[in-house]
């Protein structure tokens, strides 16, 4: 089968290769999926750049969508031919979705509702499930004011939609003009240009100095420094799913203590089974109702996987980046 992989960390053009690998066969409890699309996420870029390899080669990407074409022992044969989207395909294992066929546990291949394309379905495993879990941990949000950092990014775009659906007023942060508009299109009432505006000062204006009720945060390394400036009102909550600087982050203890603030962190790869089941069920309902808007910014052929990674790495794509593996 045709696949892409890397054998060492480094720049996309230097380390990503495309060629032939053996076609996998599903083990007991697994399905094999004929991949139509593979989603490229920021975590895939970070892994390729600096996460130590756990195998001789890594076929990247955890997200994707396709059709089950074989099943292992113990999996109902009726699943063959089923359209599915995938999660955690490359989490703690070397074989991801940047290939024509992938075998993985049957539970990681989720039935895809009719009417949802493979391009959009390649965006569910990380962006959509992250957003659903973040909003769940932050909720209920009816009548609240929510700051969504990175509201013009893939996860933030879903978070903004979900929070607005719950009846929240969303204030987003975004850098480029295109991402600011993307956040507004998702329902953000206000968008702060964090590159040219003082976020804390602008939030004070928008909330009459009270701060927001909830922060749903993609970059704790930046947001932690804003907490002493009362961006979050007393007894408020910050839910965080990422940080641009993953090492030590300084947090002002007095701010947390004297304002009774709650900090909640999670990583989408390690959701508890009950949380993942809830999120996938909720996503299925939203998809069937046609409630969520999905944005595929760019599509690439597998031969152009390095360019796809660069589009994510540079932030030039407003929306999700997808690799198409079938015509």
d(CA 84, CA 37): 11
> So where are the chain's domains?
2-123+294-324, 126-269
Buried b (16+ CB within 10 A) or exposed e, 56-92: eebbbbbbbbbbbebbbeebeeeeeebbbbbbbbbbe
pLDDT in tens, 60-109: 999 999 999 999 999 999 999 999 999 999 999 999 999 999 999 999 99
For strands 145-148 and 169-174, give the pairing. parallel
Q: H or E stretch including 5?
A: strand 2-5
Phi, psi angles (nearest 5°) of residue 31: -125, 155
Low-confidence ranges of the chain (pLDDT < 50): none
Angstrom distance (rounded) from CA 10 to CA 121: 28
Q: Which CATH class is domain 2-123+294-324?
A: alpha beta
Query: What's the confidence (pLDDT) of residue 12?
Result: 98
Q: Which residues contact 208 (CB under 8 A, 6 or more apart)?
A: none
* pLDDT at residue 246, rounded to an integer: 82
Show the CA angle centred on residue 86, arms to residues 304 and 32, nearest 5°: 90
Phi, psi of 92 (to 5 degrees): 60, 30
Task: Give the CATH fold of the 126-269 domain.
Answer: Quinone Oxidoreductase; Chain A, domain 1 (3.90.180)
Q: Between the CA of residue 262 and those of 55, 118, 145, 172, 265, what are the distances in Å?
A: 39, 38, 16, 20, 10
Angstrom distance (rounded) from CA 217 to CA 168: 16
> Tell me, what's the pLDDT at 281?
98
**Does 2-123+294-324 match 126-269 in CATH topology?**
yes
Q: What distances in angstroms separate CA 61 from CA 102, 217, 254, 293, 310, one per listed residue? A: 11, 23, 41, 22, 14
Q: Quick one: pLDDT at residue 100? A: 98
pTM over 0.75: yes
Instruction: Provide the pairing of β-strand 212-217 with 232-240.
Output: parallel
């Amino acid at each position: 089968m045709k696949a892409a992989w890397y054998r060492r960390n480094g720049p996309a053009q230097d380390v990503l290769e495309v060629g032939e690998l053996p076609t996998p066969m599903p083990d007991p409890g697994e399905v094999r999926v004929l991949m139509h699309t593979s989603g490229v996420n920021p975590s895939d870029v970070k892994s390729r750049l600096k996460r130590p390899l756990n195998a001789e080669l890594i076929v990247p990407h955890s997200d994707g969508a396709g059709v089950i074409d074989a099943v292992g022992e113990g999996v109902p044969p009726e699943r063959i031919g089923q359209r599915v989207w995938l999660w955690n395909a490359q989490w703690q294992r070397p074989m991801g979705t940047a290939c024509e066929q992938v075998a993985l546990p049957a539970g990681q291949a989720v039935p895809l509702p009719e009417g949802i394309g493979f391009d959009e379905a390649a965006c569910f495993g990380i962006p959509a499930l992250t957003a659903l879990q973040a909003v769940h941990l932050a909720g209920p949000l009816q009548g609240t004011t929510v700051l969504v950092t990175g509201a013009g990014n893939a996860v933030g775009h879903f978070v903004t939609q979900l929070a607005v659906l719950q009846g929240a007023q969303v204030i987003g942060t975004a850098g480029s003009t295109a991402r600011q508009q993307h956040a507004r299109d998702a329902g953000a009432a206000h968008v702060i240009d964090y590159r040219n505006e003082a976020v804390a000062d602008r939030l004070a204006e928008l909330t009459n100095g009270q701060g927001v009720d909830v922060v749903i945060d993609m970059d704790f390394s930046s947001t932690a420094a804003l907490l002493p400036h009362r961006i979050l009102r007393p007894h408020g909550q910050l839910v965080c799913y990422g940080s641009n600087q993953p090492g030590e982050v300084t947090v002002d203890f007095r701010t947390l203590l004297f304002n009774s603030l709650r900090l909640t962190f999670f990583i989408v790869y390690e959701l508890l089974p009950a949380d993942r089941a809830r999120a996938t069920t909720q996503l299925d309902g939203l998809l069937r109702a046609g409630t969520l808007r999905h944005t595929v910014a760019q599509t690439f052929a597998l031969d152009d996987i390095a360019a796809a990674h660069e589009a994510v790495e540079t932030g030039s794509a407003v929306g999700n980046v997808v690799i198409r593996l079938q015509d």
